[in-house]
A and B are shown apart, each in its own frame.
Chain A
């Protein structure tokens, strides 16, 4: 599969400056593309556009040549954010949140070192690293083909970072996922990516 951004432009306000201006990007299955560039260049915005959370003001996002917005149901492009505590429902246990979707495979739970006891806890009772493991598990539905990782491990300690990434690399390999990786750490990008693109 191919995920493509063609000539994307995005503004927060119709008359404001373009956060993203005429960006092109191509990501193929099995690729791991690192996105670099200083803060404020719209890396997160680009991820949001690619995952269909926002609509571009100009240009289009295509999945295998077809506009992403025409895909119905579960979006094959999933995103994991830097701050997991902002994207989980604080009032539900993690088990309940996970159960909303498909049955997460045992292999995924084990690979992400998610302990069964956490499933009965509420988000406020888990650390950022533990929550992030959930968010990764949740983004890896059976229909996921591309995963956009926006500073996925920036707030995590080194061991948790290495654990999550070694699992993700294996999973991407076995399912031929395409990964887009945003990180401020160049050693990390060097380690993970098959190529990089500057924004």
Chain B
């Protein structure tokens, strides 16, 4: 079966002019591969500010003017050109944005969700929002309600692909769990869900597979179940993430992620990697390994070395 969405060798870079006229090219996403099937939740997990939100904007065709995108995006078997993206956006492919700022502050909730009153009622009802919600303005919503309104607005059109960009900021664990549960329900009903987040623990509660993002690259893609055991993870960075979980030792590795503008040659994780060798300064391809993918010359799992 062809995947619902397939992203191949996607790179997104920015042209920046810093203080004056010095022109810089910032590579924000490099060589990203990802597929999403119908009924699947695929999570992309990376630290905030790592450029992973641009993936959503790239798929939706709403990148800012100074961004440059390469690679191919295929949706439902055909290339997702900017023109096609514009036609599908808001209907078949929808974004659940990070910020409540996407809601029109001067418009009541009901009309924002849609024109058809019965449909609006049905979708709000599905997310536990009573009729009184329809007459509220965005500023009158609590954090959790606002998230549910954002989801309602996005899924009112019965989309085939939902892209959720950091959908639970500022929510307590229970509220965040409920919101994520809604995405799981959508997937169980056949929708493809791309979840972009910095929160690995939350992502693992609903994702079928997880792509780990580091310094603009996906370094590993693994079925969610591989995160149950350290031994099943492939990339040294993914293992470091696992070991930094409060319930798994809380042990940090030293160092920080490099800037897009100051990447080392070869593997960007090399300065922090215990398994780094001289070959790691060269080209490191993204390749399949044991039911997932890895971008590492000496992965921790499997026999390839």
**Chain A CB within 10 Å — which of B142, B244, B257 has the most?**
B244
A-B complex: 6 closest residue pairs judged by Cβ atoms: A157-B47, A162-B252, A127-B49, A162-B244, A191-B246, A163-B252
Taking a contact as CB atoms under 8 Å apart, the answer to whether A159 and B252 are in contact is yes
Taking a contact as CB atoms under 8 Å apart, the answer to whether B244 and A161 are in contact is yes
Stretch at the interface among A20-28, A35-43, A57-65: A35-43
Q: Which residues of A contact B173 (CB under 8 A)?
A: 184-186
User: Does A103 make an interface contact (CB < 8 A)?
Assistant: no
A-contact bits for B153-165, CB 8 A (1 contact / 0 none)? 0000000000000
**Chain B CB within 10 Å — which of A130, A159, A160, A191 has the most?**
A159
Within A141-199, which residues are at the interface with B (CB < 8 Å)?
151, 154-163, 165-166, 184-188, 190-192
Distance between Cα atoms of A112 and B142 in the complex (Å): 35
Taking a contact as CB atoms under 8 Å apart, the answer to whether A166 and B250 are in contact is yes
Q: Give 10 new A-B contacts, CB below 8 A, not counting A127-B48, A184-B172, A184-B176.
A: A38-B175, A113-B256, A129-B49, A130-B256, A155-B169, A157-B46, A158-B200, A158-B241, A161-B244, A186-B173
How many Cβ-Cβ contacts under 8 Å join chain A to chain B? 89
Distance between Cα atoms of A68 and B75 in the complex (Å): 60
User: Does A9 make an interface contact (CB < 8 A)?
Assistant: no
User: Does A128 make an interface contact (CB < 8 A)?
Assistant: yes
B175, closest chain A residue (CB): A39
Q: Which residues of B contact A130 (CB under 8 A)?
A: 256
Taking a contact as CB atoms under 8 Å apart, the answer to whether A129 and B48 are in contact is yes
Distance between Cα atoms of A127 and B169 in the complex (Å): 17
Taking a contact as CB atoms under 8 Å apart, the answer to whether A191 and B247 are in contact is yes
B-contact bits for A116-136, CB 8 A (1 contact / 0 none)? 000000000001111000000
Taking a contact as CB atoms under 8 Å apart, the answer to whether B246 and A187 are in contact is yes
> Size band of the A side of the interface?
20 to 34
Tell me the smallest distance from the CB of B213 to a CB of chain A, in Å.
Answer: 10
Tell me the smallest distance from the CB of B205 to a CB of chain A, in Å.
Answer: 12
A113/B254 contact (C-beta < 8 A), A39-B142, A156-B198, A185-B173 known:
yes
Taking a contact as CB atoms under 8 Å apart, the answer to whether A156 and B245 are in contact is no
Distance between Cα atoms of A39 and B172 in the complex (Å): 5
Q: Which residues of A contact B250 (CB under 8 A)?
A: 162, 165-166, 191
User: Does B255 make an interface contact (CB < 8 A)?
Assistant: yes
Q: Among B48, B143, B247, B255, point to the contact of A128 (Cβ < 8 A).
A: B48
Distance between Cα atoms of A37 and B173 in the complex (Å): 10
User: Does B253 make an interface contact (CB < 8 A)?
Assistant: yes
Q: Which residues of B contact A166 (CB under 8 A)?
A: 250, 252
23 A–B pairs (Cβ distance < 8 Å), ordered by A: A38-B174, A39-B142, A39-B143, A127-B48, A127-B50, A128-B49, A129-B257, A130-B256, A151-B170, A156-B48, A156-B198, A157-B257, A159-B244, A161-B244, A161-B252, A162-B244, A162-B250, A166-B250, A184-B173, A185-B173, A187-B245, A188-B246, A191-B247
User: Does A82 make an interface contact (CB < 8 A)?
Assistant: yes
B245, closest chain A residue (CB): A158
Q: Which residues of B contact A127 (CB under 8 A)?
A: 47-50, 257
Taking a contact as CB atoms under 8 Å apart, the answer to whether B241 and A37 are in contact is no
A133, closest chain B residue (CB): B256
Within B211-258, which residues are at the interface with A (CB < 8 Å)?
240-241, 244-247, 250-257
User: Does B201 make an interface contact (CB < 8 A)?
Assistant: yes
Tell me the smallest distance from the CB of A148 to a CB of chain B, in Å.
Answer: 17
Tell me the smallest distance from the CB of B180 to a CB of chain A, in Å.
Answer: 13
Distance between Cα atoms of A115 and B170 in the complex (Å): 29
Q: Which residues of A contact B144 (CB under 8 A)?
A: 39
Q: Which residues of A contact B48 (CB under 8 A)?
A: 127-129, 155-157
Taking a contact as CB atoms under 8 Å apart, the answer to whether B198 and A39 are in contact is no
Q: Which residues of A contact B255 (CB under 8 A)?
A: 113
Distance between Cα atoms of A72 and B246 in the complex (Å): 38
Q: Which residues of B contact A39 (CB under 8 A)?
A: 142-144, 170-172, 175
Taking a contact as CB atoms under 8 Å apart, the answer to whether A159 and B143 are in contact is no
